[in-house]
Amino acid sequence: MIAYALQQLINGITLGMVYGLIAVGYTMVYGIIGMINFAHGDVFMVGAYVGIIVLTAFSGMGIAAVPVGLLVALLVSVVLCGVYGFTIERAAYRPLRGSFRLAPLISAIGMSILLENFVQTSQGAKDRAIPEPIPGGFKIMQQHGFVVQMSYMQIAIIVTTLVTLGIFTYIVTKTPLGRAMRAIEQDAKMAALLGVNTNRVISLTFVIGSALAAVAGIMFLSYYGVINFFIGFNAGIKAFTAAVLGGIGSLPGAVLGGLLIGLIEAFWSGYATIAYKDVAVYSILAIVLMFMPTGLLGRADIEKV
């Protein structure tokens, strides 16, 4: 049925936008220092918890202006998650940058466990929930009694993601910071010799990636309304899969991978069984990598000699 497929398409795009934002953070860090920040998913989780704390505080003060509360939650989450990203780079990556490649990976996993346990201890292990911030929506079409709807929250998520990615694209392509990022990605030693402050640029890369994860966390909270301290692991693995599927190190590939993961989950859940949607995602990833080892938009590494 066309109407049902259209509904799943809308749901998949909405979910894929969230995955794409998180995946961009993964691929940014990998593109610049060649390492995977496995604490990134937990930064996303922290962003969602900051959002629910701010929104609960607004509700407790009797402030009913939902758009204002969401905006404040978004700004506070971006700032705090940016600080977390900066701290992760300084504590878990910079001291080990010249070490063997497994050391930063182990350190990042340690930071992930630290963030999870910190949130579990401070916020509790039970699910936290909020009412839908922006209720309602509009009907797109109706077929055989099935109504295709697009909620205002889905529109807000798609618009927010596109605006955020637009700002990020401008930073990467049009600003001195973006040029420095691209220079370090191509040759960090040469960039340093030409006067680029590599430590500063790498720290800012972690900050920007964490800010994107914070935006994704607020959108996830607003869309599903229920979070717990473990959502960072699940969403982080899916976003990492999206980055690999699109081509690790490729920013457009991260967004494309996120959209594909969201669509695969939505259509599999709608037409097959939701219990095996993760199996479908990882199976398709394995198939793609068999024939395209660098992902859909990735490029093969050229070893410098």
- Which tens digits make up the pLDDT trace of 96-148? 877 777 788 888 888 899 999 999 999 888 899 888 888 888 888 887 778 88
Q: First-to-last CA distance in the chain?
A: 56
Could you tell me if residue 145 is left (phi over 0), alpha (psi between -120 and 50 degrees) or otherwise beta? left
Kindly state the tokens that stand for 20.
């794409």
Query: Any residues with CB less than 8 A from the CB of 88 and at least 6 apart, and which?
Result: 37, 39, 43, 108, 111, 206, 210
Specify whether the CB–CB gap between 96 and 82 falls below 8 A.
no
* Neighbouring residues of 209: CB distance < 8 A, sequence distance ≥ 6: 24, 25, 26, 28, 29, 37, 40, 85
Between CA 180 and CA 176 the distance in angstroms is 6
Instruction: Please tell me the predicted confidence (pLDDT) of residue 15.
Output: 92
Pairing outcome for strands 146-151 and 226-227: unpaired
Q: Mind listing the pLDDT tens digit for each residue in 274-295?
A: 878 888 888 888 888 788 888 8
Backbone angles phi, psi at 130, to 5 degrees: -135, 155
CA distance 60 to 134: 18
Single-letter residue type at 152: Y
Tell how far CA 239 is from the center of its chain.
Answer: 6
Q: Are 12 and 78 in contact (CB under 8 A)?
A: no
CATH node for 2-291: 1.10.3470
Using left for φ > 0, alpha for ψ between -120 and 50, and beta otherwise, residue 101 falls in: alpha
Query: CB of 18 within 8 A of CB of 216?
Result: yes
One-letter amino acid of 301: D
Token code pair at residue 103: 């050391």
**Cβ contacts of residue 118 below 8 Å, gap of 6+?**
none
User: How distant, in Å, are the alpha carbons of 123, 165, 189, 203 from that of 48?
Assistant: 12, 19, 37, 22
Question: Nearest CA to 216 among 161, 165, 253, 172?
Answer: 161
Contact 106, 93 (CB under 8 A): no
How do the pLDDT tens digits run along the chain, 305 residues long? Answer: 788 889 999 999 999 999 999 998 888 888 887 778 888 999 999 999 999 999 888 877 765 567 788 888 999 999 999 999 999 998 888 888 777 777 888 888 888 999 999 999 998 888 998 888 888 888 888 877 788 889 888 998 899 888 988 888 888 888 999 899 888 888 888 888 888 899 999 999 999 999 999 999 999 998 888 999 989 888 888 888 888 888 877 888 888 999 999 999 999 888 887 878 888 888 888 888 788 888 888 765 554 44
| DSSP structure string for 213-243 | HHHHHHHHHHHH-EE-TTHHHHHHHHHHHHH
Taking the model in full, what pTM does it have? 0.89
